[in-house]
Each structure stands twice: as C-alpha cells, then as structure tokens.
Structure 1
Amino acid sequence: MRDALLLIGHGSKDPRADDVLPYYVEQLSRSGRFSTVQACYLEKSPSIQEAVQAITADRVFVMPLLLAHGYHTRVTIPDELGIKASGDVVDGKEIILLEPFGRSEHIVRLIEGRIEPFKI
C-alpha cells in the first residue's frame, strides 16, 4: 500500500508565510515514509480538492496545520475531502484525517524556545 501525506495550511497574502508549507513538505519527504508529500491551502491555491485529485497513493494522511478543532476541521476540510469520517474511501483512496496539533508538550517547548532569546 502506498501512503501519501497532505499538509493543509490556512493560506495567507503575507509573503512571509509562503515558505512554511514547502519547508514541511521538504522535511517530511526526506523520511521516505510517504510516496508523496504535498501541501495545499484553505484560502488559496492549490485547494484541498486539487491536491487530493493529484495524489495517486492508496491512502492519504491529511494533516491540518491548525492548533485546535474549529469550523475548518469539522466542516470545511471534510467537505473539501468529500468525507463524512476519517477512513472514508474517495475515488479509491482511503482518507485519514488527522487531529490538529491541539495540546502538546512539543508546542509548549516551542513557545518557551521563542521566548528564550529575550530572557535577561
């Protein structure tokens, strides 16, 4: 079975945001775990539908790069994926919708690391 990873970002008009998803695609592609690692956006191109259609793997892990559940994780993303629940099959691909980041000690450490340079 071939697995793919689809990273979903919100999208932004701010050019400083343009290198974030490509960075994660590059880093996660290096593992060799996935036949494809691709990025798409909620608010710009490529869209979720475009990205899923371009993926030829049997199973697609979908990671919303969002902190918490909300409208996008409950409604927008499942609707765009064409699923009712994680594990549904669409066009011959099993779609596994992963949880957003949520509560994580890794994020706590990341926040602390961003503050560290400013400590006296």
Structure 2
Amino acid sequence: MQALVIVAHGSHLNPDSSAPTYDHADTIRDVGAFDEVKTGFWKEEPSLREVLRTVESDEVFVVPMFISEGYFTEQVIPRELRLDGWDVSEWDSDGLNASHATLTASDTDQWVHYCGPVGTHESMTDVLVRRAESVTGDPDVGDGFGLAVVGHGTERNENSAKAIEYHAERIREMDRFDEVQALYMDEEPEVDDVTDYFESEDVVVVPLFIADGFHTQEDIPEDMGLTDDYRTGYDVPAEVDGHRIWYAGAVGTEALMADVVLERAAEAGADVGDAVERVRRRTRGTPAAGD
C-alpha cells in the first residue's frame, strides 16, 4: 500500500486557509492514485506531528503545500514528522530544485518519501498560466496582456523570491504574454506600483500564494488600488491608472494544483498510473471572468 500525505500551514484564524489543501486532496482521492490520501497542518488538525499515525500504509509520500524552500520545509516539517537522519543536504538543492529524500519516520517506522514544495516545481508555471486563463475566461489569453507573478518576498530568506523569479522567467520564455514581471509585497519591485511596470493596457496579476487570506484578499487589492477598502469588494477587471487589472487571487486555489502534487509524488517513485493526465482533464475547464 502507498499513501499520499499533503502537508500545509493552515491557520487558527482563517478557516479558508486549509480549503485548497482539502480540495486538492479530494481530487487526487477521486482519481484513485493512492490507497490513502491524508492531510496534515502546522496550525490545524490533524497536526503534522500526528498525521503519519492516521496512515495505515507502510510507504508514504509527503508533499508540502508551500511555495518555497525554507524554514518550514527544511526544519519544521521534517522535525514534526520525526524523519530519522534528515538533513537539508539530502535535497542537494540551491533553493529551487529540491526533489525528494527517502527516510524512516522514527516513531511509526514508515518509509517516507519527503518531497520538495509544490511552489518550486516546474509544473507550477502551468498553474500560474491556467490562473490567468481562469480569471479572464479566455483559454488563449496572452496577446495584448501583461502578467505579474506576485510573491511575499523577504530579505530574511533569499529563497522566498527565487520561486517567483523562476516562474516569471519560465512564462517569459513561453513568449505568450506581451510582458511578464515578478513583483513583491516586501521587496522591490513592489506590487503597490504594478501599473508602473507595464505598458500593456490589460494586466493579469497572479499571487504565488497557496491560499487566499489576509495578504491576497486584503493587502494586495488595496495596495494595487483596486479598492480603498477590501470589505467593499472590487471589480474584475478593475481600472487603475489607465490599465485594466485582472486580479486572480491565490494560485493555490486553482484546481490544476492537484497535478503539481501528483507530479511531485510521481518523481519520488509513487505509482500514480495515468492520474496526472486524468487530473488535467478534470481541471481543464475555464470559468467565466471573475468566477
């Protein structure tokens, strides 16, 4: 038997924080890729410390629903799962290319394939583009549009910006959008000045965040000038300084994220059959703009 455990941060304050994790787990469970699919959280139940005890399988694939390599993926999760002998050098990563490491959970004796975070996987690029398609309602969106990939950014962890730059560059190389820019909340170039960085009249803004919360629902819309008060809502698209801003909300809420989780597990040796393709077929529909 093989199991998948998706681990995420969660929140005591925002009940929607865990919703994407549950949604993607349900999608993967429905396509039958694993004997068991479980979820665990740092700030919610079941806790990271206890989640492996909810799993009957001896072989477990653990995929972190985090954007970047850093404190949580390198220290908190391995510690809470009690991965015997874990060291970050097991990933042999420069901050972008963590794949997987196989260790034993010391208290359950399970064989654990600990995968890199979803946010640095190359398939996340496709999810960002799909998010642009979803918010505009146009599966061919690109010509005449700019695209901003937005991250939190912090000078305390250089890896925080690496994932943003990585995916922005990959989308730029597609030559699909007229302009592609990486922007940040806490670093330059800042998302507050989004219209300063684009000549395109239409700009899609996609936050590289796992869940919609304080930053994506309140800070970013107000910082960009979509609204003076997030509680009053805003239009999609919204007119700002002569541009139409198509604000997509957190990329982690996009249904195609389930594909990234599966690919992480498959690269670690999970036998997922044709589940990746079935997930892509299930999530191919593009809703109307603003949905």
The alpha-carbon deviation at position 18 of structure 1 amounts to 3.8
RMSD of aligned Cα (Å):
2.1
Contact 2:205 2:245 (8 Å CA) reproduced:
yes
Structure possessing the higher relative contact order (Cα contacts under 8 Å, 6 or more residues apart): 1
The alpha-carbon deviation at position 3 of structure 1 amounts to 0.5
- Structure 1: segments with no counterpart, 5+ residues: none
Are 2:239 and 1:112 equivalent residues in the alignment? no
TM-score (norm 1): 0.84
Cα distance in 2 between the residues matched to 1:99 and 1:26:
20
What letter corresponds to residue 235 of structure 2 in structure 1? A
What letter corresponds to residue 78 of structure 1 in structure 2? P
Partner of 2:245: 95
The alpha-carbon deviation at position 61 of structure 1 amounts to 0.3
Question: Which of 41, 62, 72 is matched with 2:215 structurally?
Answer: 72
Q: Deviations over 1:43-90 (max 9, x none)?
A: 221111233312110100000000111011111110111112321111
- Structure 2: segments with no counterpart, 5+ residues: 1-142, 227-233, 270-291
Partner of 1:5: 147
Cα distance in 2 between the residues matched to 1:82 and 1:11:
20
What letter corresponds to residue 236 of structure 2 in structure 1? S
Are 2:208 and 1:58 equivalent residues in the alignment? no
> CA 1:87 to 1:67, structure 2 compared with 1: closer, same or farther past 3 Å?
same
> CA 1:113 to 1:77, structure 2 compared with 1: closer, same or farther past 3 Å?
farther
Contact 2:146 2:177 (8 Å CA) reproduced:
yes
SS in 2 for 1:52: helix
Cα distance in 2 between the residues matched to 1:110 and 1:67:
17
Greater gyration radius: 2
Give percent identity, aligned residues only. 25
Contact 1:9 1:40 (8 Å CA) reproduced:
yes
Question: Which of 182, 188, 198 is matched with 1:39 structurally?
Answer: 182
Contact 1:2 1:59 (8 Å CA) reproduced:
yes
The alpha-carbon deviation at position 20 of structure 1 amounts to 2.0
Contact 1:89 1:95 (8 Å CA) reproduced:
yes
TM-score (norm 2): 0.37
The alpha-carbon deviation at position 7 of structure 1 amounts to 0.6
Contact 1:29 1:36 (8 Å CA) reproduced:
yes
SS in 2 for 1:44: coil
**Across the two proteins, how many residue pairs are aligned to each other?**
117
